[in-house]
Structure 1
Amino acid sequence: MKSDVPSRLFQIPELAFLVASHLTKSDISRLMRTSQQMYQTMTLAFYHNLSSSFHFIHKDSGFLVEDSQGLKALARNIQHVKEWDTGIFFFNYYYHASAPFRNNNNNNNKNKDNIAPTAVPLADPPWPPLSALAQIFAPGRRDDVYELTALPQMSLLTRINLNLEWGPLEANCRYPFPDFHSARKTLLRICEILRLLPRLCQLDICGLVIKDSGSARLFTSTMWEMTQLRRLNITLSVRGSYHGIRTLLFDNLPPSIERLHIGGTSSHVLGDYGGVEADNSNYRTMEAGQGLARSITKRANLRDLALDDWQESTTMEQFLSVFTRCPSLKTLRLKQPSAPAGVDGTDIGRICPDLRDISYDGSSDMNGNDKWPLEVMETLRENQMESLEYHSASHCRLDDATAVKTLLRHSSSLWQIKIISPVTSSAVRMILETCKALEVLQISRSTVELCDAIASPWACSKMTSLTLSIKISPSSSPPGTEFVPSYLQEPPTPLSASEKNIFTQLEVFYRQIGKLTGLRHLNIDRTEYSEHGSIVGRSNLRDRPLPGMLILSTNRAGRPGFLDLLGGLSKLETVEGAIFPETADRMMSEFTREFTWICKHWRSLRQPDFLPHMKPRRFVIYEDVAELQKSLKWPLPTSVLMSDTSFSSLPLEIVQLIADHLDQYSLFQCSLVCHAWHSTFESSFWRSVQLSPYFRFDNASPSLEALTRNLHHIRQLETSDPTLVHLLAFHPAALNQLQSLDLYLYDDKTSFFPITDSPEPGIALGNNIQAISRILEGCHNLQVLSLGITDCFTKADKTVAFQEIMSACATGSLESIKLYFETQDPGFCYRNSSRTIISNHVQNYQSDVNQQQRLPSFIALQDVFIRGSTNHMHSSTLAFLVRCPNLVRLEMDSVDDCVLFDLADTLQAFCPNLVELVWTDNTYEDEYIAAVLGSSRLGWRVLKTPWHVGFGPLSYEAVMRSAETLEELKMSAWGSSSSEVRWRFYLDMLCSARNLRILTGLDGQTRSMHESTIEVHAEKAFKQHIESGGGRTWVLGSLMKYLGMQVIGVPRPDVVCRDNGTPLRSWMVDELDDSRRYEVQRWIYEQLGRMTGLEELALGVVDICLEDVGDYMPEEDVNDEGISLTKLEDDMEEDGWLNRLINYQSLEFSLESGLELLSGLKVLELLDVKSTAHRIGVEELEWMHVHWPKLKEIKGLVTERKWAGDGEEGIKVKQDVEAWIAAHPHGIGSSYY
């Protein structure tokens, strides 16, 4: 049993990869040699990240490509490389070594997967492989001719870190690649490689040289095609205007960029790398404003922006244009910007209202234009800022008034404050007293008065890093007079009154620090700064140690010591500043009581400066320090004996990952193994509690007692039992940890507590409203709330207590809320009622909006789900959305149409970040639907609105306004408009939505009789493309993951009858030009072929739901072989319902029709051609086996092709296909074999 645990452990891919991420390459290599299974498991982790920086090759360097065998191993497994860190040396090697594969890919002559990694000669000049580097730099080497080892393309790369800065070894290499010093040639090679990486999502380039506008255009055009790129980090060297290249990048980078970092200088570039100009090209100076034809004025997806070394002077318009382009910024980092005089930070705060992190380094700006980052904080919503890093070069102090308007305004949300600038001592006191969420505090170039540091208890109990400079006056050990203070001399001198006062204050100060139990980094010094931030007196920290800090308290009079007050700092790793022993040499002997105490209490402490003869490695702690002192002398050995590792000693994140893969029964069994396992798994077992709607607690049941004991472990609770609700209401200690709450109460059943035993007088135990409000008031960390608002939530005046419940919710932590309304409020009648009732409802809604505006906002709420009923909901249930300024996703069902116009105005005015809408209903008119669809400021990113039969021209127009931003679109049964109007809209969407990832009409297994899906008429679309001169081309590209639609209207002269041999009906097919049979299909294939990231392609007909089939077919016609679609079509036609259940004018998917144009779909996993007239045979399957290596299944593959009129040929094709599938049971693609 024991030996079976690791094998099961490493069968979980996520867990195996997590374990491998903590191991070195050597450790992973040793694991791979243990067994064949471990080799297969760890191969992906071993090659996941490739580091190939150039350096001298040492004997034991472990460099992956140091010899030809390493290169061949890399070539065999290069498809596993996802992350690549490299310098320009190996980048050039890879460029030339992968040339055969790039040429083969461009010419489409052979399948690149069939090319074996072998050695190919490289001519003019010859260049050795890396295995010969030792000979290159060895004395007396020979000038031999070597060969390169060919490397396939790393087509699955997701991250590249490319360093183009040359070291002295690379610059002096006598065997350079052709033009390896040319910045222009290097840029061309970079662009060529990047164009072949469709999955790249993170790119870091250091030392990129842009010397003219042509180079800038080449680079930006390449970036534009990288539609999956999310993070871009570039360090530039620019000839001409740095502002010009920055503008080009802003305008021409793909809209998918979420994090952008542009660094570098605008210095004049005289030469190429290393000062060598390899070619004599006449570079033209790049001028600002030379953009490309395409450009993006606003980047809705950009959340993180960093601009470094921006020292070029700019105008106010240029400066503000940076922020105008990025209205959704959350993180802003500026290093040495040259801000124009008079810049107002409030303007930036209004342009970017979602800013949360600001990092500003104005250390080189001596013009005093560095107050604007603080002014930004004054404009943002209260308690929105999370991190501030502020470095100012000016002598203007951050005073109390500024601290109140900026730091105190965000005291509940700031977790990091780093200020390298003069700050008043009272302002630092405000930070310590009010910023309760603070984890990192660094105050430099400022001195804090000791009296201010101890004026009030610190609110920042979560601190992990603290850096302060404390002023202790007068000094207890004046520098330069005597090294040992008077109170430490023998015999000790009694303390004076002033010294007693100082040590009394120091004791309070040290107690404050001792309460920071999560502290990892502590830096306290006694350097004194002037009002302008300059150091007063000497700055040697060893001359001014903190009095009594590293001394244990004793019973001796006049000898203060406070080290024992810091015993709670068990996580402390580093101590810096003036934390030194008060001895003549400022060193601590290992034979003192203080040393023993530190070894026992500060177990995580790394190399401290005051301990002798220790090397800079982790300070190893033993349980028995006395035994350690007897047996060991400094320095400590690099390794210590450790006890056998048990399951309970694994890192918490690994234990949690394992627990997440276990069900409740398995967790229960694990907790019974032993006491250690019980402690490990008990919290995971009780983390999620889900009770059936039919489950009720017995007052004396053991399960209730067990639940009561473990309430503090519960993080997720789902129940409909009022007993449990009231139990939680009177256990407030358990509510602080609750993260998810799902309540659906059906009745007013009273609590199990007798009324006489009420834990707290004044609480009606049978009142669910009060109980739930009490629970919500105690859930300070609640993130997800789901409530079923039923009749038992109705107050005495017959109104719903929704507003009371929402007022009790924590506004700072709630992230998602789901509301289900099933109340039958007699004050309102059914929807679509009289205008009088609608008018009254609108007035109530507007009144509730005004009332809700006065309440605090849900700053973390991003996801809201609302489901109504057939009756009108109370107006407050929608008006609360005005309190959701950061709402991103809204899902609605059965919402009142009488308030839709006001709801649309509310969403547009108060929810600026709303980009996702899921709206399921079918009773609204066109103008109502269009109003809601026009409520997104940034444009919809996700839009799912099935079953809207009222869709019309206004709704279509509203959707098209978001075509550029849409990433996921689901639409079915849209509108009663003609099919001509609908398919024109579908075609407009295909020609406009360049960022689309998912497009589907019916994503289920079945559909109802009235549901329709997306249909594209192939011949009409092709004609429009020709008539427009090629302008009506689909823009869907490599971002696409799922495409579900029907391609109809393909000329198919080979289809001569129906699937049952009867003649085709006129409504089943269109009159088409048969001469364009292959021309139309090849054009459709070209459009689909650009979707290189496509994983599922569903072009088949969705089955009809069996419940609907029963209305048209007798039960005896539905047999084990399925439904006869032709018989169903006939039965429906008799009832006047024309519904094509088989697409006879579909794509053939045959090689003859142009299937080879889809060879780029390398990640396709599923193809659906169900109920279509396809011609996929064995020849096509062999082609798919090679070119679609990940294809798992083809739905609707097997068919007898009865529609072709040749029964015998169709039966033979069916038998051949079935035999081929039987020979390939694991999948169709080659990756499964």
Structure 2
Amino acid sequence: MADTPSELLHIVAAHLDAPSFFVCLHVCRSWNAFFTSYAWRSIDGRMAFWQRFIEHGPLFDSLQKYRHFIRSLVVRQRKLLLFALAARLTDLTSLVVIGPFGDGNYSSQRRKYPVNQIRLAIPESAFGQQQQQDWHAVLHQSRLCWQVVLDNPGLTKLDFRYAPIWKAASTRCPEVKALWLQIFTRLREARYLEMRNGDDEVLSRLGTLYPKIEHFGHWGQSGRALDSMTAGYSTTLRVLEINNTVRYRHLREIVMAFPNLQRLHVERCTSPLEVNSAALVEFSHEKLEVLKVQVPSDLGLVKVHFPNVKKLHSGLFDPSVARNLLESHPALEHLILTYPEYHIAFFPPINEPVQPPSASFGLKELEWTGKRGYHRMNLGLLLPRLSHLVRLDIDVIRAANFEIIPRTCHLLEHMRFNLEGRAYQGMSELFAKCPHLKTCLGREHIIRASDMADELQPWTCLGLQELDLEITGVTRLSYDEERILDAMQVEGRTEPRDREEEGAIKARQSSNEEQRQVYRRLGQCTGLTRLQLGVEEGVRYLPQDEAPRLLSTHFKSQLTGGMSYRGLREGPLYVNTLELSLESGLAELRTLQELEDLGLNYVNHRIGIDEIEWMGQNWSLKTVSGIWGYYAQGNLDDDSVEERAGSFLSFIPDHDSQASDPEDSYGDDDDDL
């Protein structure tokens, strides 16, 4: 191992993470010398590995010892920030600050941390006096954050978007203004800058201050400093994000100042009356490819055009405006439309008639998101002209509009939509006419079992990988027929004695054959990794005359197999759904060997021990949801029932628990920091 060429070790290092680097340090002395620079090159306070080291490792001593190797620092803990300053890290090229820190009592921290070794060159007067009760702690951590910047003039990346800091005091004071410009001016190597409280003067002088800048995020409201962008002219800037209100008169100046801009994000524009559109000359920006703007008409007002935009993110609620937007941007491939929150109370849904299709747009991806129930837009104006769509993500779509999709969008690969209303025919045609479909997710995807029969039009989308589908209209046995068949099985009989038993047997055979056709259809999609068959909402209950009797009856089955739907059952019974039993044809799905995620919410199933063992043997299940409370032990003499069932039930999450965010599992840094 000691003779491994360094060229090969560099290749290996490119595929390792932080914990792996530290493992390599213990292989041999030569590996220790080689991998030390990799192990300490980047410290990320968001990672669980580094979080444990920051809390329990010799952090300060390590930072002092290896400070010349450290190039990248992601600060999420106050402890890391304090130690970084005390260790005098001055060779950083990347700094990201994320909050909140959870300051606790700063006076107690003075005794625990080597704060006496920290020298702050930035006075408190550089920050505005805040009225909040804890402003002293926040002011101090603001000084700490900016001091790290001041100590590292070689930074190429600085991200303060989520930094827990107050903005600087008003720059009307010449001394304070000179101090902040001194900090910003020192970062001559900066290529990536994201400021939570951006300075207008920095943006207006961007090209002069940062000759290598490529990405700039501006979070401050535009002011008079942007009246002239002459000093801001930059040919290196590729990405500009203005995350606050910008004046119309400044928008045009900003766009013209960056001729090689490829991505532009403008939150909102204000004061349109200050612009005299008639006096402006048309300006066309040829390089921009990605644009995010709430109101596209803002650009028309200042006579700025982006003819080569490929991705556009906008806030629209009018389908005719969306259609005009596509017509005016022929190169557009990805359109994201977000229903603006501030329009919800003022604009009702648009109900425009469907028009005959014209020439198709070249759009490949369409996303329409917003608050459910407020933007049931008539997509019939757009869908007939979107024959090139590959991805479609719609929050809510009406059944009448949905039926246009399988007739037009035959190239679809990924779909996510919540359906409003019933579109049985549309769902059947979707699987038959969209052969490239890989993902079909969302709510209210309902298809009739009769539409999945073998003799009907076959599915062409056999490459499906993720599917949310509710199958309804399954012919099921009545409660009395179930009791008759149970009694026959307990007695060990298969031949009927009377007409009632004969009718129950024929009903079982008919129901099983219908369900096998459904299973065979699903079994053709051999690449499925996710299959959600559950009822989401709008469920159909049993008839009113039967429901009270069935819901109040608890029948404990004595059949071998132990755990059965026909045993003790809690909660309402849902009709017309699959049984998911081996008897009804579940074995037809043995082809789904890649299945990892199975959802059965409110499905009226009859899963027993045999089904549990069969699923575990034939599928690669990692998550099973929606079958809590359906089981009862019917054969208490079988000692293996509980153990055998437990191995399968361990996959099933608690339906009352909420998945926790891994970022939250470590909590904030409390008083000990």
Calculate the TM-score normalised by the size of structure 1: 0.32
Match of 2:291 among 809, 812, 817: 817
**Aligned to 1:1159, what secondary structure does the other structure show?**
helix
Where in structure 2 are the equivalents of 1:373-452 lying within 5 Å?
none
Q: Partners of 1:759 and 1:1091 in 2: how far apart?
A: 60
**Aligned to 1:1200, what secondary structure does the other structure show?**
coil
Q: Partners of 1:935 and 1:1167 in 2: how far apart?
A: 36
Deviations 1:512-570 (A, max 9, x none): xxxxxxxxxxxxxxxxxxxxxxxxxxxxxxxxxxxxxxxxxxxxxxxxxxxxxxxxxxx
Q: Partners of 2:458 and 2:604 in 1: how far apart?
A: 25
Aligned residues of 2:229 and 2:257 also touching (Cα < 8 A):
no
Is residue 1090 from structure 1 mapped to residue 524 from structure 2 by the alignment? yes
CA change 1:760–1:969 in 2 (3 A) is: closer
Cα shift at 1:983: 0.8
> Which residue identity lines up with residue 207 of structure 2 in the other structure?
P
Q: Partners of 1:884 and 1:807 in 2: how far apart?
A: 15
Where in structure 2 are the equivalents of 1:142-221 lying within 5 Å?
none
Indicate the residue corresponding to 1:971 in structure 2. Answer: 417
Aligned residues of 1:738 and 1:782 also touching (Cα < 8 A):
no
CA change 1:817–1:1158 in 2 (3 A) is: same
CA change 1:651–1:1160 in 2 (3 A) is: farther
Unaligned ranges ≥5, structure 2: 1-8, 18-22, 48-69, 96-151, 233-244, 341-346, 483-505, 539-550, 553-570, 654-673
Is residue 19 from structure 1 mapped to residue 11 from structure 2 by the alignment? no
Is residue 918 from structure 1 mapped to residue 377 from structure 2 by the alignment? no
Where in structure 2 are the equivalents of 1:625-1024 lying within 5 Å?
644-645=33-34, 663-665=74-76, 677-679=91-93, 686-690=157-161, 696-698=167-169, 699=171, 700=176, 706-707=183-184, 709-710=186-187, 712-715=189-192, 717=194, 719=196, 721=197, 724-733=199-208, 739=214, 768-790=247-269, 792-796=270-274, 807=283, 810-812=285-287, 814-821=288-295, 857-859=306-308, 861-868=309-316, 884-894=329-339, 912-920=361-369, 929-936=379-386, 938-949=387-398, 951-952=399-400, 955-956=401-402, 958-974=404-420, 979=422, 982-1002=423-443, 1013-1018=444-449, 1020-1022=450-452
> Which residue identity lines up with residue 887 of structure 1 in the other structure?
L
Deviations 1:406-453 (A, max 9, x none): xxxxxxxxxxxxxxxxxxxxxxxxxxxxxxxxxxxxxxxxxxxxxxxx
Q: Could you tell me the percent identity over the aligned residues?
A: 18
Cα shift at 1:731: 2.6
Unaligned ranges ≥5, structure 1: 1-9, 22-29, 36-640, 826-844, 1003-1012, 1059-1071, 1105-1125, 1128-1139, 1202-1206, 1229-1233
CA change 1:863–1:695 in 2 (3 A) is: farther
Cα shift at 1:1219: 6.9
Cα shift at 1:1044: 0.6
Cα shift at 1:873: 12
Where in structure 2 are the equivalents of 1:27-176 lying within 5 Å?
none
Q: Partners of 1:718 and 1:1210 in 2: how far apart?
A: 66
**Aligned to 1:1163, what secondary structure does the other structure show?**
coil
Cα shift at 1:1000: 2.0
Q: Partners of 1:998 and 1:867 in 2: how far apart?
A: 26
**Aligned to 2:510, what secondary structure does the other structure show?**
helix
CA change 1:1179–1:731 in 2 (3 A) is: same
Aligned residues of 1:743 and 1:787 also touching (Cα < 8 A):
no
> Which residue identity lines up with residue 534 of structure 2 in the other structure?
G
**Aligned to 1:934, what secondary structure does the other structure show?**
helix
Where in structure 2 are the equivalents of 1:1106-1185 lying within 5 Å?
1143-1185=574-616
Q: Partners of 1:648 and 1:685 in 2: how far apart?
A: 19
CA change 1:960–1:1172 in 2 (3 A) is: same
Indicate the residue corresponding to 2:343 in structure 1. Answer: none
Q: Partners of 2:72 and 2:474 in 1: how far apart?
A: 48
CA change 1:888–1:704 in 2 (3 A) is: same
CA change 1:713–1:758 in 2 (3 A) is: closer
Aligned residues of 1:1082 and 1:1153 also touching (Cα < 8 A):
yes
Aligned residues of 2:191 and 2:215 also touching (Cα < 8 A):
no
> Which residue identity lines up with residue 335 of structure 2 in the other structure?
L
Cα shift at 1:946: 3.1
Deviations 1:124-160 (A, max 9, x none): xxxxxxxxxxxxxxxxxxxxxxxxxxxxxxxxxxxxx
CA change 1:1226–1:668 in 2 (3 A) is: farther
CA change 1:795–1:878 in 2 (3 A) is: farther
Q: Partners of 2:526 and 2:584 in 1: how far apart?
A: 20
Aligned residues of 2:203 and 2:218 also touching (Cα < 8 A):
no
Looking at both structures, which has the greater relative contact order when contacts are Cα pairs under 8 Å and sequence separation is at least 6?
A: 2
Q: Which has the larger radius of gyration?
A: 1
Cα shift at 1:644: 4.9
> Which residue identity lines up with residue 1079 of structure 1 in the other structure?
E
Aligned residues of 1:668 and 1:685 also touching (Cα < 8 A):
no
Aligned residues of 1:1199 and 1:1210 also touching (Cα < 8 A):
no
Q: Partners of 2:583 and 2:396 in 1: how far apart?
A: 39
**Aligned to 2:433, what secondary structure does the other structure show?**
coil
Q: Partners of 1:776 and 1:1162 in 2: how far apart?
A: 53
Indicate the residue corresponding to 1:300 in structure 2. Answer: none
Q: Partners of 1:900 and 1:787 in 2: how far apart?
A: 30
Q: Partners of 1:904 and 1:890 in 2: how far apart?
A: 21
Cα shift at 1:902: 13
CA change 1:929–1:676 in 2 (3 A) is: same
Aligned residues of 2:579 and 2:604 also touching (Cα < 8 A):
yes
**Aligned to 1:943, what secondary structure does the other structure show?**
strand
Aligned residues of 1:1198 and 1:1218 also touching (Cα < 8 A):
no
CA change 1:1085–1:902 in 2 (3 A) is: closer
Indicate the residue corresponding to 1:1048 in structure 2. Answer: 472
Cα shift at 1:986: 0.9
CA change 1:662–1:898 in 2 (3 A) is: same
Q: Partners of 1:1142 and 1:661 in 2: how far apart?
A: 58
Q: Partners of 2:216 and 2:204 in 1: how far apart?
A: 13
Cα shift at 1:863: 1.4
Aligned residues of 2:599 and 2:626 also touching (Cα < 8 A):
yes
Aligned residues of 1:739 and 1:784 also touching (Cα < 8 A):
no
CA change 1:865–1:759 in 2 (3 A) is: closer
Q: Partners of 1:17 and 1:1082 in 2: how far apart?
A: 52
Aligned residues of 1:729 and 1:771 also touching (Cα < 8 A):
no
Aligned residue pairs total 475
CA change 1:874–1:772 in 2 (3 A) is: farther
Calculate the TM-score normalised by the size of structure 2: 0.55
Q: Partners of 2:607 and 2:511 in 1: how far apart?
A: 16
> Which residue identity lines up with residue 886 of structure 1 in the other structure?
A
Aligned residues of 1:944 and 1:969 also touching (Cα < 8 A):
yes
Aligned residues of 2:71 and 2:91 also touching (Cα < 8 A):
no
Cα shift at 1:1164: 1.7
Aligned residues of 2:313 and 2:336 also touching (Cα < 8 A):
yes
Q: Partners of 2:354 and 2:575 in 1: how far apart?
A: 45
CA change 1:997–1:642 in 2 (3 A) is: closer
Indicate the residue corresponding to 2:124 in structure 1. Answer: none
Q: Partners of 1:777 and 1:942 in 2: how far apart?
A: 33
Deviations 1:446-480 (A, max 9, x none): xxxxxxxxxxxxxxxxxxxxxxxxxxxxxxxxxxx
Q: Partners of 1:793 and 1:660 in 2: how far apart?
A: 44
Cα shift at 1:773: 4.1
Aligned residues of 1:784 and 1:816 also touching (Cα < 8 A):
yes
